[in-house]
Amino acid sequence: MKYRSLRRTIATAFLAMAVFAGVCGGLLAILFAYTTEDHIFDRLLALEAAHLEGSIGQGESLPEPELPFSSYYQAGTLPAFLQAALEAEPGRREVFGEDGKHYHLLRVASASVGPAWIVLEVQDYLAVRPVLTGITLVLALAILAITLIAAIAGAYVAHRVTGPLRSLAAEVSALQPENLPTEWQRRYPADEVGRLADTLREAFRRIHRFIDREQRFTEDASHELRTPLTVIESSVAMLARSRDADQAEALIGRIRSAAMAMHLSVDGLLALAREDRPERSVERTAVLPIVERSVVNHASLLDGKAVQLSVAVDPDWRVAGDPAALQVLIANLVSNAFRYTEEGTVRIERDGNDLLVIDSGVGIDPALKPEVTKHAVKSSDSPGLGLGLSIVERLCRRYGWRFELSSSPHGTTAALRLGA
């Protein structure tokens, strides 16, 4: 697409307006001069009419005009060319004759002598027409000077006006996705350009957040789906070798549970990846089935460990919330407790509105504890990607829940507050 120069457009508009204003001003000046001249002759005609009215009572004939270039005529005595002009246009008050003659006329009605005409022969007293060529030349030169000044001023104004826009366009063109602007409002004037800069900054922020959500969704999905896929793969392999109907039924149950966990995990992660805030849920979700599904899907993490598991969750406990989000939250807390506990106990229990996951594992490295819920933060010996607690923190923030983590060398307690 070929772009037009905004600076040139502004300068051209400035110049066109100056030319238009100059031409209109010149025409108005000439019109004003002609109108003033005609008004002077009308005043002279009015003076002659007053003289005529004041003199008619002294006799039946028309008196001598007061002005040397004035003449009085009774009806029917007008010169032929004046009579012809009045017959063609009865209301006419200005007539051009031969050889440059110029006349102004006024009809006067008198009771004693009847209608009469006052005629001024004014060609020797014209002020505008003899100098019209000079006036036109002066006006043309003035318009040319105004045009030159307007061209310079327009170019300067256009340069000043479009300068911030050019700077903004250059800055936008040089932007890199990983280096988006944050302080544009301080570098641009507080006008439409500044508003555009703020709008672009907010648009880039949204794009950056979108890219970040997309990248995190990919990482989160790989994190959340790894365990249920492993369960499904191992169960399918065992099912292929099994000849025991009861074992096959149990394996099918594990596959079904893992598939449900995958489905809920994807729904939860998609909700986390969306830009809009979720509406407050009125759905009441049972917590215990989600806990049981998480325990079954991550049970392999306890294989070969001397760990005693206890679950004390009221089967009637239901909370307001998205079951997909709850599935992701609880699965992450359970998997962490199973993974980092080599011996001792793992307890999953309800405490009022809190779901507690308590383990006797090695605890969290004190150096990592302040940032353990940040993205990709993990200890050097962790087999994971450092995404689990980050997902928990973001989901809780999104849905208005509270997540608290306390740890010591003797174990970790994760508290998930699911109600007021």
- Domain locations in the chain as residue ranges: 6-145, 211-417
Ramachandran region, residue 3 (left: φ > 0; alpha: ψ -120 to 50; beta: rest): beta
- Is residue 134 exposed (0-12), middle (13-18) or buried (19+ Cβ within 10 Å)? exposed
* Angle in degrees, 0-180, between the axes of helices 245-273 and 287-297, rounded to the nearest 10: 110
Q: What is the pLDDT, as a whole number, of residue 384?
A: 43
CATH superfamily, domain at 211-417:
Histidine kinase-like ATPase, C-terminal domain (3.30.565.10)
pLDDT of residue 294: 85
The reported pLDDT for the residue numbered 397 is 80
H-type helices in 300-360, by residue range?
323-339
Q: Residue 348 has what pLDDT?
A: 93
The pLDDT tens digits of the residues spanning 29-79 come to 888 988 998 999 999 999 988 888 877 665 567 888 989 999 998 878 888
For 383-393, b where at least 16 C-beta lie within 10 A, e where not — what string?
ebebbbbbbbb
Both tokens of residue 178?
């990983």
Name residues of the chain where pLDDT drops below 70: 1-3, 56-60, 111-113, 176-187, 189-190, 207-233, 235, 239, 243, 250-251, 253-254, 257-282, 366-388, 420
Cβ neighbours of residue 118 under 8 Å, at least 6 residues apart?
45, 48, 49, 52, 65, 70, 71, 72, 105, 106, 108
**What does the pLDDT read at residue 44?**
92
pLDDT at 19: 86
User: Both tokens of residue 329?
Assistant: 């939250």
- pTM of the predicted model over 0.75: no
Q: How far is CA 276 from CA 92, 154, 192, 328, in A?
A: 79, 46, 28, 19
Torsions phi, psi of 17, nearest 5?
-65, -40
